[in-house]
Amino acid sequence: DGVYMPRLLLTKRLDGHVHIVQVPTARDSLNEGDAFVLDAGAKIYTWFGGSSSPFEKQAANTYAENIENDRGGKAKVTDTVDDDFWSVLGGPGDIKSAADVPVLPEPTPVGEGVL
């Protein structure tokens, strides 16, 4: 297989709907108010901010499980944040509060690729 580019997806409840948006794959994208999926290839991480809603957590879990199913056993979902998780995001550090982020960030351009 070729080189895999990790991606980070934010799940945010807004106006009664949960939106899933790709954001820059960096720790600075995380915040305490939302749930996230880090697709790192063989591992698919779910990370939940301390004040993320049950709807956001459920959407993140479902999205992660769908990726796992699409990969036919070649990837596993985990909510265990390990050194690999932080390595992909540029290292551990402070996480922004929910108040420090825009309502819904602009999607990150991803260029050409296979979905």
The CATH number of residue 80's host domain is 3.40.20.10
pLDDT grade for 71, boundaries at 50, 70 and 90: very high
15 located within any domain? yes
Q: Are 100 and 31 spatial neighbours (Cβ–Cβ below 8 Å)?
A: yes
Q: Distance between CA atoms of 106 and 102, rounded to whole angstroms?
A: 9
- The whole domain housing 68 covers 7-91
Q: Are 95 and 31 spatial neighbours (Cβ–Cβ below 8 Å)?
A: yes
106 located within any domain? no
100 located within any domain? no
Number of domains in the chain: 1
40 located within any domain? yes
111 located within any domain? no
105 located within any domain? no
pTM confidence score = 0.86
**Pairing of β 35-39 and β 17-23:** unpaired
101 located within any domain? no
pLDDT of 113 reads: 44
* Cα atoms in the Cβ-side hemisphere of radius 13 Å centred on 30: 23
57 located within any domain? yes
Model pLDDT for residues 29-67, shown as the tens digit of each residue? 999 999 999 999 999 999 999 999 999 999 999 999 999
